[in-house]
Structure 1
Amino acid sequence: MDTDVEKSIRQAVMAWVGQRAEANGGFLRREELLSFRHRNEKLPIIDYSRGIRNPRDFGSTLSIVSAADGPYDDTESDDGLLHYAYRKGDPWSGDNRKLRNAMTTGMPLILFRKEIANIYTPIFPVYVVDDEPDNRQFLIALDEAFRFIQDPAHLSAPQREYSLRLAKQRLHQPAFRTRVLVAYETRCAICELKHGALLDAAHIVPDGHELGAPTVNNGLSLCKIHHAAYDQNMLGITPDYEVQIDGDLLREIDGPMLKHGLQEMHGRRLSLPRRRLDRPHQEHLAWRFEHFRARPHANH
C-alpha cells in the first residue's frame, strides 16, 4: 500500500477512535474495535487474539495492546516510556518488522490499555522511538519529540521528568477514568446521568496526596457539575454514602440548575458499584468529608 494512502487510513481510524472514546467516556469495547469499517471494508483496529494489529496491506503496525496480565513483558519503567517486548518468532520479520518500520517511517500508532476484560483505553498517537535487540524490546513514547532524541534509552533528567509527567497525563489518568466509569456502569453516582462524555472520574483523596492512589475505591463517577461542586467542597459525601450540599447553597435562590442539579441532591444516597471492592473507601470519604465540613458556613 502507498505510504500516503496508509497514512490517510490511519488518520481516519484515529479520528473514529477518538470520537467513540469521547462518547463512551474514554474507552471502547472490543466488539466496536473489531467491527470497524473503512469505506465499507472491514478493518479491525485490534487483532482478534494477539496484542498487535498489523493489517496485511499496511507497511507499519496500526495498534498495540498493553495488558497487565498479558503473555509479554510489556512494562512502563521509571523513564515514562513503554518497553514493548518483541513478538514471538523471528525478531527481524513479521510483527517485529512492521514495528521496526513504524520507527523508521515515524508512523503513529494507537496504544490500547486493557485493564478490564473487553474494555480498552486508547492512547494515541504514540511512536516507536528505539529498538533494543539485546533486550528484545522496542521503546514506545507518547510524544513525537522523542523520535528526535539521540538516545531515548538514556534520557536526561529533564527529558525523563517530562516523559513521566506525560505518562501520568496520557496513560494513568485516562486508565483511572476508564476503571471508575466501568465500575459505576457509566453513570453519575449522584444523579445517575448516563452520558459518558459528560462524566469524570473524581478522586476522593486528591491525586498527589499520599493516600490519593488512582484506584477505583478512591474514585467516584461524577457528572461534570457534581465533580466541580465536590472539588470546591460545595458538595460533600458522608462515610455512609449520603450526599450533603453546602448550607449557603441550600438557602440560595437561583435558576433550575441550582435547584434540580444541586439542592435536590441533598440527602440523596450514592449509587454504588456492584462489586464491593470497587465501592468508595469509607475512611477516604471520612477524610474528605471533614474538608467539606470545614468550609465556612457549610451545612453541619
Structure 2
Amino acid sequence: MGIEHSVVITSQGDDLDSRVRAAAMAWLRQRCTPEDPVVRRDELLGFQFEGRTFPLVDNQLGIRKPQGMIAALSILTTYTSDGARAPYDDAVGPDGLLRYKFQGKPQHYTNVGLRRAFELGVPLMWFYGIKPGLYLPFFPVWIISVEAEQSQVSVALDEAQRHLTVDASVSLIERQYAERITKQRLHQPVFRQRVIQAYETTCTMCRLRHRSLLDAAHIIPDRDARGVPAVSNGLALCKIHHAAYDQHILGIRPDHIIEVRTDILEEIDGPMLKHGIQEMNGLPITLPRRRSDRPNRGLLEERYEAFRARTHA
C-alpha cells in the first residue's frame, strides 16, 4: 500500500557524501559523552568540515540535504512541550517502527533527498529536540521504506530494525520487538534527557548535581498504560532517592513536600539514613522553572496515595 522497500544501491562518485557523513558522526561520538550527551543548535550549524562551515541541520527545515550531496544528511524533530502533543504517539507505525513526515510537497528537494537516502542505504543522523535549541542525537539511522501515500518514511534506529518487516501485517512478536527497540533506543533516552534538563541536572530532593548519578524517575511507572514518557510524569532523582521513592520509603505529597515513612524515621542507622533519607522529611522538592514541566498534580496525588497505603499496611 504505497510502501517502497529498501534496496541498497552501490553509488560511484559519492566521495563528498561519504566523507561528510563519516566526519560528522565521528565528531558527534567525540562531542556527545555520557556526561554531556546533548548538543546545541549553534554547534550543529557551526560544524567544521575540511576547513569550512558545513551545517549539520537546516536553518528552517527539518530535513538537511546539502547542495552537492547525493542524499539527505540529517533529520530533526523540533522540541514541543508536553501540553502541545501526545509524546511519540503520532511517530510510531502499526509495525512498531518510527515514522518521519515529508517536508511539504513530495517533490520538495528535501524529500527527494530522503528517497535517495533510502535507495542508497546511506546512514543519517536524527537530532531530537530536548528543549529549545538543544538536541539528543541518534546515529546512524536508516530510511528503510518510503510511504508515499502517507507522505512519510520509516526509520530504523539500529541494524536489527533495518531487517524488520515494514507494514501493518507484521506478526505480534515482530511488532513487540520493534516497539521494544524503539522504546529503549529513543523514548527512554529522550525522556531521561528532557527530565534532567527540566530539573537543571539536579536531584529534586537532595540537589545533587552529578549527571551520572541522576535518573529520570516516572511518577506513574512506564509499565502502566498512563505512565507516559512526559516530563510532567517525571522527576529528576539521584539513584538513592529514586530507589527510595520506588520502594515507598519516602513519598511526595501533591503540595510538593517530601514525606518519609514513619517506621523509617524511627530507625537508627548510619549517616546515609540520617542525612540522606530522614532529614528529607518535610522539605519541599525543587521544581522546574517552566510550569509545563512541573509534576502533574493528579499523578503526584495518585502516587502519594499508593505510598500512604504502603505506610499504613
Deviations 1:13-44 (A, max 9, x none): 3413542xx334x5433223323445765343
Residue aligning to 1:86: 102
- Percent identity of the aligned residues? 43
| Aligned residues: CA RMSD | 3.3
Residue aligning to 2:287: 272
Residue aligning to 1:263: 278
Distance 1:215 1:135 in 2: 26
Distance 1:135 1:30 in 2: 29
Distance 1:108 1:287 in 2: 44
1:126 aligns with 2:137: no
1:47 to 41, 45, 58: 58
Residue aligning to 2:232: 217
Q: Is the 8 A contact 1:78 1:164 kept in 2?
A: no
Structure 1 unaligned runs (5+)?
none
Distance 2:121 2:191 in 1: 29
Q: Compare 74-83 and 124-133 and name the one that shifted more.
A: 74-83
Distance 1:6 1:114 in 2: 22
Residue aligning to 2:202: 187
Q: Is the 8 A contact 2:127 2:138 kept in 1?
A: yes
Residue aligning to 1:9: 23
Judging changes above 3 Å, is the alpha-carbon distance between structure 1 residues 83 and 204 closer, same or farther for their aligned structure 2 residues?
Answer: closer
Deviations 1:110-131 (A, max 9, x none): 2222364323233333210012
Structure 2 unaligned runs (5+)?
1-13, 81-89
Question: What's the secondary structure of 2:94's corresponding residue?
Answer: coil
Q: Is the 8 A contact 2:250 2:258 kept in 1?
A: yes
Question: What's the secondary structure of 1:168's corresponding residue?
Answer: helix
2:170 to 156, 160, 184: 156
2:247 to 226, 232, 237: 232
Q: Compare 74-83 and 181-190 and name the one that shifted more.
A: 74-83
Deviations 1:250-282 (A, max 9, x none): 42322x544443333232211112333432233
Judging changes above 3 Å, is the alpha-carbon distance between structure 1 residues 53 and 233 closer, same or farther for their aligned structure 2 residues?
Answer: same
Distance 1:207 1:142 in 2: 21
Judging changes above 3 Å, is the alpha-carbon distance between structure 1 residues 239 and 131 closer, same or farther for their aligned structure 2 residues?
Answer: closer
Residue aligning to 2:76: 65
Q: Is the 8 A contact 1:17 1:122 kept in 2?
A: no
Q: Compare 227-236 and 209-218 and name the one that shifted more.
A: 209-218
Q: What aligned pairs does 1:140-151 form with structure 2 within 5 A after superposition?
A: 140-149=155-164
TM-score (norm 2): 0.76
Q: Is the 8 A contact 2:79 2:131 kept in 1?
A: no
Superposed displacement of residue 12, structure 1: 0.4
1:285 aligns with 2:300: yes
2:42 to 31, 50, 54: 31
Question: What's the secondary structure of 2:61's corresponding residue?
Answer: coil
Distance 1:261 1:45 in 2: 44
Judging changes above 3 Å, is the alpha-carbon distance between structure 1 residues 240 and 129 closer, same or farther for their aligned structure 2 residues?
Answer: same
